[in-house]
Amino acid sequence: MDVHARIQTITDEIRRVTGGRHVVVAFSGGLDSTTVAALARDALGPAGVLLVTVNMGEYAYRRGNEIVLEMADRLGLPQRCLLGQHAQHRVQRTGPACNRCTREIKLGMVRAVAKGRLVLTGANRSDTWGQMGLKVCDGYYAPLLDWDKPQIREVAAALDVIPPKIGENPGREGCKLKHLLKPLAAPAYHGTAVARANEIILDVLREAGWQADLANVKIIGPLRRNVGLVNVRPLPPAEIRRQVLAALAALPQLEEVHLVEGPLRLVVKASPGIVGDDHARHWLHHGRLAPDFAFPIEVEWLPSPNARLHTFHVVDFTPLDTERESRTVRAEPVEARSLAEASAFDQAQAERHEPEAPQPCAVGSFSSSA
C-alpha cells in the first residue's frame, strides 16, 4: 500500500471509530503524536481536535517546549497545556518508572480533561505498548498501532509535519527524568541535578557548534551522591569535552562527572520482581538503558535490600576498556541543604504502591517522539 492509500485508510478509520465526534490528542510535539494529530485533523476538521500536552516543568527540555508550540501552530490546532511536574515526585520516588508516569500522569491527566471524549495516542509497533495493546480500549484509541516507525515517518513526510529534534537522542526523545537512573528521593537534589545537567550539555554543544545525535547526562550513584555519566555521540574534540566537563563540574548538585569514552558495566540494584524476571531485565538493559548510552553497556544485577525500591537503581559503573580510563572531574561538595534532604529519605516512610498489572490498552507513546 502506498503512502497516500495508507493515509486515506487511516483517516477513514478515524471517522468510523470516532463517529465524527470531537477528540483529544495526547500531544508531545514529537513524531508519533504529531502524525496522529494531523490525521485526526484531516479526518474530523480542525474544530474537532484538541491537543493536550502535559508539561513536566523543569524536567521538560526548553527546546521541547518550543517544539510543542511550533507544531501546534503548524498543525493549525488548539492546544492546552497541563503541569505534571509535582506528580512526578510521587511516581518516581520509589525508582525510575517511565511507563507508570505515562499511564498515571500524562495520559491520566489528559483523560481527566477530555471529559468523555476519545483520547488519541501515538502508540505504535515500535514501542512495547504497541506490541501488546489493543487499538481501541477504555476511552483510548491508537490509530498508528499497526505501523512501525518508518511507516509513521513516511506518512508524516507526506503530510509535511515532521517535527524538529531536541538533540538528546536520535530516536525517542522525552522528559529529562529518563536520565535519572535512581529514585527521585529528594527533588531539590536529584531532580535539580538531572534537569540542569541535561540542559547544560545541550547548551555547551550548541554554542561550540558540535552536532551530536545523542547527548545526555545520566545521574547514577548512591542516594547521597550524584554521579554524572556524560554521553555524547560522536565524541567531540578534546577542547569541547573539556568545556562540557567544566560546565557540569560547576553544578552544585553533582559530586562527580565522567565522560563516557568506551563500553561500561553498570551495577544495578533492583526490586525482587525485576531481579527474578529474565524478560524484565532484558527489556531494562536493551530497551531502557542501552539506547541512551554512547557506547555498549553490560549490566550487573543485584537484589536490593531496600523494600522502598520498586524498580531499579544504578549505583555504580566500571569502564570495560581497561586501556582507556574514564575522563573524570570531581565537583565541589553539594550544598548541605540538599544532602540533608537526600538523607531524610532513609527515615521517611515511602508511599506504598500495588505491583503494576499488565495494561491491555495501547495508551503509551507520550514522549517527545510520540
Q: Kindly tell me if the per-residue pLDDT of 262 is higher than 80.
A: yes
Mean pLDDT on 319-340: 49
Q: CA triplet 100, 60, 363: central angle to 5 degrees?
A: 35
The DSSP element (H or E) to which 220 belongs, if any, is: strand 214-220
pLDDT at 95: 96
Does residue 1 surpass a pLDDT of 60?
yes
Q: What percent of the chain has pLDDT over 90?
A: 73
Q: What is the dihedral of CA 130, 13, 38, 150, to 10 degrees?
A: 40
At 342, the pLDDT band (50, 70, 90 cuts) reads very low
Weakest-pLDDT range from 137-141, 155-159, 220-224: 137-141
How would you class 322 by CB atoms within 10 Å of its CB: exposed for 0-12, middle for 13-18, buried for 19 or more? exposed
Q: Concatenated DSSP letters for 305-321?
A: S-TT-SSEEEEEEEES-
Task: To the nearest 10°, report the CA torsion of 344, 345, 347, 349.
Answer: 130
Q: Distances from the Cα of 39 to the Cαs of 33, 165, 335, in angstroms?
A: 10, 21, 50
pLDDT (mean) for 232-241: 97
Q: Is 260 left (phi over 0), alpha (psi -120 to 50) or beta?
A: beta
Query: For cell 528521593, what's the residue?
Result: 185
> Residue 206: helix, strand or coil by DSSP?
helix
Does residue 143 have a pLDDT over 70?
A: yes
- Confidence band for 265, pLDDT divided at 50, 70 and 90: very high
pLDDT tens string 28-57: 999 999 999 999 999 999 999 999 999 998
What are the structural domains, with CATH classification, of the chain?
3-159 (3.40.50.620), 176-346 (3.30.300.10)
User: What pTM does this model have?
Assistant: 0.82
Segments in the chain forming alpha helices (H): 3-18, 31-44, 62-75, 85-91, 98-100, 107-114, 128-132, 149-159, 192-208, 238-249, 272-275, 278-283, 336-347
Dmax (CA) of the chain = 64
What is the rounded distance in angstroms from the CA atom of residue 151 to the CA atom of residue 146? 10
Beta strand 227-233 with 256-259: parallel, antiparallel or unpaired?
Answer: parallel
Q: What is the pLDDT of residues 177-224, one digit of tens each?
A: 999 999 999 999 999 999 999 999 999 999 999 999 999 999 999 999
Segment 79-108 shows an average pLDDT of: 89
Q: Are strands 23-26 and 49-55 parallel, antiparallel or unpaired?
A: parallel
> What pLDDT is recorded for position 107?
86
Q: What is the mean pLDDT of residues 285-311?
A: 96
Average per-residue pLDDT for the chain = 87
Tell me how far apart the terminal alpha carbons of the chain are, to the nearest angstrom: 23
Structure confidence at residue 340 as a pLDDT band (50, 70, 90): very low
pLDDT for 154 equals 97
Q: Which three cell numbers stand for residue 13?
A: 478509520
> For residue 174, what pLDDT is reported?
77
**Confidence (pLDDT) at 35:** 98
The pLDDT of residue 322 = 57
At 361 the pLDDT is 47
Residue 132 confidence class, pLDDT cut points 50, 70, 90: low
Q: Which residue has the higher pLDDT, 170 or 276?
A: 276
